[in-house]
Amino acid sequence: MIRVVLPAHLKTLIRQQSEVALDIDGPVTQRRLVDALEARYPVLRGTIRDPATMRRRPFVRFFACELDLSHESPDAELPDEVTQGKEPFFVVGAMAGG
Amino acid sequence: MSGVRVLVGTRKGAFILSADGARKSWDVRGPFFEGWEIYHVKASPVNPDRIYASQSSGWFGQIIQRSDDGGLTWAPVGNGFAYDGVAGTHQWYDGTPHPWEFARVWHLEPSLSDPETVLAGVEDAALFKSVDGGVNWTELSGLRGHDTGAQWQPGAGGMCLHTIIESPKDPSRLFVAISAAGAFRSDDAGQSWRPINAGLRSQGIPDEDAEVGHCVHRIALHPSNPDVLFMQKHWDVMRSNDAGDSWFEVSGDLPSDFGFVIDVHAHEPETVYVLPITSDSVHYPPEGKLRVYRSRTGGNEWEPLTKGLPQSNCYVDVLRDAMSIDSLDQCGVYFGTTGGQVYVSSDAGDSWETIVRDLPAVLSVEVQTLA
């Protein structure tokens, strides 16, 4: 089970304040994680990735395990702690230190 | 009994204000879509329970919300605003070419005849159409593809298409306005367009009376006389008697002819409302006095309407989509401010009351007149 923490604006959109739990078969990458997230909550399409380019929106960041993974390849596997559900994957609205 | 429902978009959510026809006692609901910018909320004139809302965020993009029960519940619909074909470029602030980039929906205009059909005016300026209640969107690309498109440039608020008017007497005729390209008209339901800016003169562009490049802030018309258009330009209040083919100035004795809003009385086609703002660099009312001005002569002669409005120390702005008019027998006028106040006049502007005074900054106000 993958744990995902969304920013407040997106929690409002999906009407869920708690972490999101996702089951993803096979390798867990940024791309497959966001695919699964959008499949579960179609309203998130276009809010994390640009719907035309499918790239991360400029003011969205991805953090996990105290690392900034925003600029990692979307097809790179996420850390084991994330894939094992020990650490959440954070989708963050970019505002330094906020 | 008749009543009104006021749809308010703010920097941090939407609000719905309801009252009976007396417009004295108000029910306030909201915020809806907390924390999101709500640029515009507007209902179908055919089905008053069908309401569309533009929800956006600089971080998380664009959402279109729809209610089918008068705003009690909402559901997100489509947000696929893709420019048709190769997007191309327009002018950037410095005059260099800049790629067209979608930012947000500024204005939603439901069809006068079909609740499933709605137009969206977006930044960077383009016009989109949905015929399935906002689920799917297609660009009416004849507008952005006009020969002048590469010359369009953003106003201070971005390059936004903020005004959409469907002619009440001819559904194939549409008017739009873009900051800072100007006004455009289509006579074939949005397939092809031509600039209608003859008579406008604007500083800040190399040729003051150029075909495009004018920062039009708002256009309004009266349904009984759709060839007569009233315009609040960046500077200047303008009038056209020929559906925009030519314009002449009617600023007359206004204390400032800069402003954003303009609207027309529901039952008197020659009664027009504006709200003067000091200047393009000083976005609050002249002398700190919040005054609506009314002309009963179709422009040029204006009277200040002040009763119930603050006449000292008022430094709010009223943005272009933030005035609306109801169609009750005693016409009501509404506007919202960047200070979070929404004002109502239930006597056509003679006197004003505050409906709410502490909302987030108001971006848009639309009123529905309910049977």
- Decide if A41 is inside a domain: yes
**Closest Cα in chain B, distance from residue A20 (Å):** 18
Assign A96 a pLDDT band (cuts: 50, 70, 90): low
Give the percent of chain B with pLDDT over 90.
96
In order of B93, B248, B322, the CA distances from B204 in angstroms are 11, 19, 26
Count the alpha carbons within 13 Å of B243 in the hemisphere toward its beta carbon.
17
Report yes or no on A17 lying in a domain: yes
- Please check whether residue B42 is in contact with residue B366, taking contact to mean a CB–CB distance below 8 angstroms: yes
Q: How far apart are CA B145 and CA B317, in angstroms?
A: 33
Is A50 within the bounds of a domain? Answer: yes
How does strand A89-93 pair with strand A2-5?
parallel
Domain count along chain A: 1
- Rg (Cα) of chain A, in Å, rounded? 12
Locus of tokens 């409302």:
B273
- The enclosing domain of A87 has a CATH number of 3.10.20.30
Give me the mean pLDDT over the B105-119 stretch: 98
- The kind and range of the H/E element at B110 are strand B104-110
Distance, CA of B90 to CA of B354 (rounded, Å): 42
Burial of B96 per CB tally in 10 Å (0-12, 13-18, 19+): exposed
**Considering the domain boundaries, does residue A98 fall inside one?**
no
Which residues from B are below 8 Å from A93, CB to CB? 59-60
Is there a contact between A71 and A63 (Cβ–Cβ < 8 Å)?
no
Query: In 10 A of CB B286, how many CB atoms?
Result: 16
Asked if B340 and B360 touch (Cβ cutoff 8 Å), the reply is: yes
Question: Chain B residues within 8 A (CB-CB) of chain A?
Answer: 33-36, 57-63, 76, 79-80, 82
A-interface mutation test, from B54, B56, B59, most A Cβ less than 10 A away: B59
| pLDDT, mean of residues A32-51 | 95
Of residues A9, A43, A52, nearest to B57 (C-beta): A9
| Confidence at residue A97, expressed as pLDDT on a 0 to 100 scale | 60
| Residue A53, domain member (yes or no) | yes
Give me the helices (H) in A1-98, please. Answer: 8-14, 30-40, 80-83
Range of the domain at A30: 2-93
Residue B273 has pLDDT above 90, yes or no: yes
pTM of the predicted model, to two decimals? 0.95
Give per-residue pLDDT as tens, B8-46. Answer: 999 999 999 999 999 999 999 999 999 999 999 999 999
Residue B153 identity: Q
Q: Which residues of chain A make contact with B136, given a CB cutoff of 8 A?
A: none
CA dihedral for B283, B276, B26, B36, sign (positive or negative): negative
pLDDT of A80 above 70 = yes
**pLDDT value at A98 more than 80:** no
Of B36, B59, B79, the CB nearest to A60: B59
CB B39 within 8 A of CB B57: no
Place of tokens 């498109």: B149
How large is the average pLDDT for residues A5-30? 95
